[in-house]
Amino acid sequence: MRNLFRGYYKPTPEEIAQIWHEGIFSFDTNVLLHIYSYTPETRSKFFEILGQLKERIWIPHQVAYEYQKNRLYVIANQVKAYEDITVILDRNLNSLKQELFKDYKRHPFINTRNIIKTIETALEEIKSDLTRSHEQHPNYVESDDLRETLTDLLEGKVGKPYSDEELENIYQKAEKRFSYKKPPGYKDSKKSLPKNYGDVVLWFQLIDYAKYMQKPLIFVTDDDKEDWWLKYEGETIEPRPDLVQEILSEVGLEEFKFYMYHSDQFLDYALEFFNLPNQPEAIQEARDVMLQNAATKRIQVESNYIRSVGYDPSTQILEAEFRHRGEVYQYLDVPPEVYSALMDASSHGRYFVANIKDSYSYRKVN
């Protein structure tokens, strides 16, 4: 039975070790772009590991294309963060002033004006620090040493593109796969054309390369959607078994093995594999960046149950922050009309409990 359903059996520790010793490592676009979000220390460690694996790295053409296409957008978001944080600080200061002066402007033992002055002084210092950090932020538009490092590492290690005819054929196959939710890519089916086919193109390129090389393959991705990963009670368990089964069947060799990691898992295992010092901070940072980029910006709501709600229509992820413990959860595959109904409801909390809480898969963010 195991031979017929190898994709449904998690590799043993011995098999994982074999993959790491013999396999080829491939990385998704999001992993390469997340490098721009890492601190210099974590980034340096990540590049050190890639350098150790340099002769065994290969990436699909689709990954390289999406990296080049989206790089400037990621860089712009990093720079915009300074402005965004300043706006958030000012907005919350104004809100705080209103709240304090509304109910506590006159109090026999509390001087609200002194409180506000102390906060304003602290915020001005914070904004000055932000300005200095902004001035020291690398100008990756003018000179991108991170891209140069990646270019050196990946020279000669990027797959060839499909022809227009081949792409058209794959797009048709992708539509059929979407119709019966065959992974990966169906979670992107609502994206604009041809972005919605990106994961399928990438997947086919991985399969083609695996068939050609006939060596074990590890794919590192920070995509956490359920068309890549098996989920159980909001937790990511392992790569989708049917996904693994497909690439094993396509390659057709009993010796061939395939496995997947998120960036933090990859860093954790790589540090051990190369006998490098353990760096829990770098591992946690990689996980935080992955979750942060999967998150959506939330807006506050008037509710005793929910503090804020965010929604990304392209991924249909609804994110809710709860008041009791400040915990944040993401709910998957939530249709836009459900989000709209939640925001229009007279009681956000009651609507959430009745229509979302136990109706959609979820994962805890913090």
The answer to whether the beta carbons of residues 180 and 195 sit under 8 Å apart is no
| Residue ranges of the chain that CATH labels 3.40.50.1010 | 6-73+141-291
Q: Give the DSSP H/E element, type plus range, for residue 142.
A: none
- Cα separation, 332 vs 338, in Å, equals 12
Q: DSSP readout, 39-65?
A: -HHHHHHHHHHHHHTGGGB-B-HHHHH
Backbone torsion region of residue 233, taken as left when φ is above 0, otherwise alpha when ψ lies between -120 and 50, otherwise beta: left
* Two structure tokens written together for 244: 């693994």
- Cα separation, 366 vs 363, in Å, equals 9
What contacts 279, CB < 8 A, 6 or more positions away? 42, 45, 267, 271
pTM for the complete prediction? 0.81
Q: What was the pLDDT predicted at 60?
A: 98
Greatest Cα-to-Cα distance within the chain, rounded to the nearest angstrom: 81
- Cα separation, 257 vs 217, in Å, equals 6
Q: What was the pLDDT predicted at 314?
A: 62
> Domain 6-73+141-291 adopts which CATH fold?
Rossmann fold (3.40.50)
**Burial 35-60, CB ≥16 within 10 A → b, else e:** bbbbeeebbebbbebbeebeebbbbb
| Angle, in degrees to the nearest 10, between helices 13-22 and 263-273 | 80
What contacts 111, CB < 8 A, 6 or more positions away? none
Q: What was the pLDDT predicted at 81?
A: 86
Looking at the chain, the number of H-run helices and the number of E-run strands are 13, 10
Indicate the SS3 state at residue 297: coil
Q: What was the pLDDT predicted at 233?
A: 75
Q: Mean pLDDT for each consecutive 10-residue tract of the chain (366 residues)? A: 87 93 96 94 95 95 95 88 87 84 81 90 94 94 96 96 97 95 88 88 98 96 92 86 96 93 96 91 92 72 89 80 86 88 92 93 82
